[in-house]
């Protein structure tokens, strides 16, 4: 069995960082659907801006809002305005084709990669 990339949101921009929230990353529900993430799913978030990396879980945000919000302690590592990649993985014994999406500066879907 191997852990392989299953889905990715590429080049998203963090719109908020809420230190007071209990934890997680809030993602526009439209992007969650297009990337095939699940609410509560563990994801790896990597900042293209600073190189910071962290694991957290997905919370659905308002559809078509463009929201990408770092919540809780993750807001100390990745801040508003940073460009991030959000990745989900699957443990499998076979190769899979990941569902990767590209978004624009407003976190609106551009295309499947």
Residues with a known catalytic role: 24, 57
Q: How far apart are CA 88 and CA 48, in angstroms?
A: 17
- What region, left, alpha or beta, does residue 58 occupy, with left being phi > 0 and alpha being psi -120 to 50 degrees? beta
Please tell me the distance from the alpha carbon of residue 3 to that of residue 23, in angstroms, as a whole number.
Answer: 24
- The H or E element containing residue 74 is helix 74-77
């Amino acid at each position: 069995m191997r852990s392989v990339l299953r889905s990715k949101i590429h080049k998203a921009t963090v719109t908020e960082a809420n230190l007071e929230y209990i934890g997680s990353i809030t993602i526009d529900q439209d992007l969650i659907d297009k990337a095939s993430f699940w609410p509560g799913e563990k994801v790896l978030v990597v900042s293209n801006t600073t190189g910071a990396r962290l694991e957290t879980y997905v919370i659905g945000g308002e559809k078509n809002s463009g929201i990408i919000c770092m919540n809780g302690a993750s807001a100390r590592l990745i801040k508003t305005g940073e460009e991030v990649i959000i990745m989900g993985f699957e443990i499998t014994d076979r190769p899979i084709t990941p569902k990767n999406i590209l978004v624009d500066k407003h976190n609106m879907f551009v295309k499947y990669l």
